[in-house]
Structure 1
């Protein structure tokens, strides 16, 4: 904690923070594990967010605070439309920015931002650690915005991560609570079969990138017999840390964010070989392409027989965002021995609807171009699209669709083929 050589802490209370933010028009607030939810809620309750714009990267399934509801005059900018932001999006008060992760980072660097609010670990030796969320905040901290750190007393400082000098902060406010996290992974037999199939594509000595949720967790569990792996991701959860602790991920973990329980936070903060880095490094395509044997595994909602996929819309309705998947897929395709993998369950709606479709529905955006995918994996198999012509792509994708939909897809492709 505080020592004689350490600058005085610029501690402020909620009233002081509200006064400090009064002249600010655009405020960056961290998303994911860096979201200061309790302080934002309190600021909204005291009217301190009136006529302001909050901008940030808020993650579906992680950030559950309805920011637009904090004040009726508040505008929110987000690269994802989360369930919590949906009502505000429909009302026109949530503005969706359709940007990939690395482009979002550069957008934040270039944007006029007056103030920034994010969670931090307790200060030490004149420095403040970004704790469990090092993804986008460095883009804003490098600019001219006034920084306000929300100290969560139980947040640990990782061994290898980003620290900001105390004198860069305009204020630090202490708060209770925990950083945003994820519900526990649930066992899903379909996702377990998909994970096992993807594990068969991964050789020892590979670097793995995957997202969060049941499917990535199933993949990481299926890698327990592999050796000499590295993990490189935007976010890491307990399943990834367990590979490091077991000696499987002996080449370490590079991540921007850690999502989990307080016990997980303590474990990953003490773990040697874990490197916390900003999105400018974790998602930079040139850096990714320099990693040998990078296998990037990302999900999609639907994929059509041309091999183009949507990861952010259902029935023309925006439910998510671009995220970092294209950054990772393109980086993996540049990697020597790399693979760009898209994984999805073959059906949705309890088996009533195929997620492999003849063509994406009109009005549905293409999140992943067909040239950005090497392999598509469902519980029924792996469709290797590398080097395939149009008909071969369609044939291989139909082969990994649910059997009850394959005949319908074959007939649809025959009609499409006659038209092109």
Structure 2
């Protein structure tokens, strides 16, 4: 199959299409640039996708109306203007939505250079397979700099609608070195992990802190939706034996390594977030971050001061799966305060209008730099007491007063 230019591909689109655009490192920047230069090519069309905050920084709604199962700060203007339709779906449900009800006509995604009659999805294997299953036309945007991973999703060339020559910079995700409070948080979380466990984490500074604290563990395995550079450190240190993930995002060194790292298996969200598969993982420890937790155990992981800045993503899939796995447990990790200690991230109750990303019935273990609150099987008063005990010391009295007022209304 001959490769065509992004501009030539843009000129082939018919009006009124529903186009899935890959997110994370699979975002087809070269094609989006070509579409931006030809606004008429998207007449009457809709973009579908799951863009990731801090990675996909383009406002897709400037090109066409968007239906998204995740939110980014760049899409908030389009959300306010009615050009973005946000679906607050768990990742497992987002995969099912894209596989059928979304009615995607075409999927556009970056891939590694063709090899052996097929292309590798490189760093981003999460949602494209849903469109493959739905029978959508597939447009592979080739970037030779992307790794052809040893164990991942491959798409035969004869299944492709078009092969586009579209090298573009791969997004990098630097991680800050954990400070003292974050390091303490990491040690508390690591203390809940036992040798031989399977671990799920997200990415970011908190994960880096947990990984540093896991240095003395052995025989761990990873099963999750996303990995970063921290996983390489665990592999090299002999802590981690193998990993299953849908996405890799991080440094250039991480991307180079993915092309030759056979211990990492890349799978779709249909595998990584499947409820039955997660529940079948023995001793699964799901570790996820949050914005705030209230004294009932309800978790907000997607809204800050009334602004939708992210989404629940796969957190509920893993929280519920870990609670059902034999010996499994779910950990919500967050620093106890923000803005220099002036605000508590453990609050009496979530503010009106704040979505509950994890219900109190799903809450299991909450960790801050001040300790661990075990909530599974705890009654209402025990939950509040245990959460107040791991709040920032300067906020504990106010939290206790807030709980007393709430409790008096029960």
Aligned residue in 2 for 1:135: 126
Q: Which structure 2 residues correspond to residues 337-352 of structure 1 after superposition, within 5 A?
A: 337-352=327-342
Choose which of 367, 372, 379 in structure 1 pairs with 2:369.
379
Distance in structure 2 (CA, Å) of the matches to 1:23 and 1:163: 29
**3-state SS, counterpart of residue 243 of structure 1:** helix
Report if aligned partners of 1:135, 1:278 keep a CA contact under 8 Å in 2: yes
Please state how far the C-alpha of 1:154 moved relative to its aligned partner.
0.9
1:402 aligns with 2:395: no
- RMSD between aligned residues: 1.2
Choose which of 122, 146, 150 in structure 2 pairs with 1:159.
150
Aligned residue in 1 for 2:265: 275
1:124 aligns with 2:115: yes
**CA deviation string 1:397-418 (max 9, x = no partner):** 0000001110111111111111
Please state how far the C-alpha of 1:317 moved relative to its aligned partner.
2.1
Report if aligned partners of 1:24, 1:115 keep a CA contact under 8 Å in 2: no
1:34 aligns with 2:30: no
Report if aligned partners of 2:15, 2:43 keep a CA contact under 8 Å in 1: no
**CA deviation string 1:141-164 (max 9, x = no partner):** 122211111101111111100101
Report if aligned partners of 2:296, 2:360 keep a CA contact under 8 Å in 1: yes
1:173 aligns with 2:158: no
Stretches of structure 1 that go unaligned for 5 or more consecutive residues are: 1-8
Report if aligned partners of 1:237, 1:260 keep a CA contact under 8 Å in 2: yes
Report if aligned partners of 1:10, 1:170 keep a CA contact under 8 Å in 2: no
How high is the TM-score relative to the length of structure 2? 0.97
1:54 aligns with 2:44: no
**3-state SS, counterpart of residue 403 of structure 2:** helix
Report if aligned partners of 1:37, 1:65 keep a CA contact under 8 Å in 2: no
Please state how far the C-alpha of 1:173 moved relative to its aligned partner.
0.9
Q: Which structure 2 residues correspond to residues 110-259 of structure 1 after superposition, within 5 A?
A: 110=100, 111-250=102-241, 252-259=242-249
Distance in structure 2 (CA, Å) of the matches to 1:39 and 1:14: 5
**3-state SS, counterpart of residue 21 of structure 1:** coil
Distance in structure 1 (CA, Å) of the matches to 2:129 and 2:2: 20
Q: Which structure 2 residues correspond to residues 89-108 of structure 1 after superposition, within 5 A?
A: 89-108=79-98
Aligned residue in 2 for 1:388: 378
Please state how far the C-alpha of 1:45 moved relative to its aligned partner.
1.4
Distance in structure 2 (CA, Å) of the matches to 1:175 and 1:357: 48
Report if aligned partners of 2:15, 2:44 keep a CA contact under 8 Å in 1: no
Report if aligned partners of 2:224, 2:244 keep a CA contact under 8 Å in 1: yes
Choose which of 54, 73, 81 in structure 1 pairs with 2:71.
81
1:16 aligns with 2:8: yes
Report if aligned partners of 1:346, 1:402 keep a CA contact under 8 Å in 2: yes
Change (3 A) 1:121 1:198: same
Aligned residue in 2 for 1:412: 402
